[in-house]
Amino acid sequence: MGNAGRVVELRTPGDTNSKPGERKVRIMLGEKIGETKGKRIVRRVVSVNPPTAEVSFEDSGTMFGLATTGLGTYTSVVRPDGSIFGTGQGLTTSNEGDQITWEGTGVGKFGAGGAVSYRGMLFFKTTSQKLARLNNACGAFEYEVDSSGATTSNIWEWK
């Protein structure tokens, strides 16, 4: 899955290589860590003040090219402006027995028919030698749930 990093450059005033009025900012996403497809399996209301729900899901996919299956649970709080703030945790296992745990935080929004879209960061732990680089990685993620409960996620290393 070796995706090259994505770089965006804008120039700033005071930068010797900048044109007047430009700003220089460097943003980089590194290698793609993984991708999954799955299904939301449980939703539970935890509170109505503020509106809070707990969601569990199962998925399968790849991490650094290894086939994986996983499960996770996240809690989402609907903010006064209608946006969503979520925290979660999960366990991913490769078909070879490697285990990865993760914790994450993200922000999201509601879509049509109950769909939800999140963006955020994951933090990993593993004792697997094959996946040890995850112990020092931040994973920038995109997570989508469609109106039927099907999930998709993509994770990139954030450098």
Contact between 56 and 41 (Cβ < 8 Å): yes
φ, ψ (nearest 5 deg) of residue 112: -65, 140
pLDDT at 92: 98
Task: Give the burial class of 82: count Cβ atoms within 10 A of its Cβ; 0-12 exposed, 13-18 middle, 19 or more buried.
Answer: exposed
- At a CB cut-off of 8 Å and minimum separation 6, what does 77 contact? 50, 51, 52, 84, 85, 86
Instruction: Tell me how long the chain is.
Output: 159
Domains and CATH numbers, the chain: 31-158 (2.40.160.20)
pLDDT at 19: 57
Bond into 50 cis (ω within 30) = yes
pTM for the model stands at 0.82
Tens-binned pLDDT, residue by residue, of the chain (159 aa): 444 555 444 444 445 555 555 656 666 788 999 999 999 999 999 999 999 999 999 999 999 999 999 999 999 999 999 999 999 999 999 999 999 999 999 999 999 999 999 999 999 999 999 999 999 899 999 999 999 999 999 999 998
Give strand pairing partners of 54: 44, 75
Question: What is the DSSP secondary structure assignment for residue 83, as one 8-state letter?
Answer: -
pLDDT at 25: 62
pLDDT at 21: 58
Give strand pairing partners of 119: 107, 142
Contact between 156 and 138 (Cβ < 8 Å): no
Instruction: Count CB-CB contacts under 10 A for residue 57.
Output: 24
**Tokens 């996770």 identify what position?**
72
User: What does the alpha-carbon distance between residue 156 and residue 27 come to, in Å, rounded to a whole number?
Assistant: 13
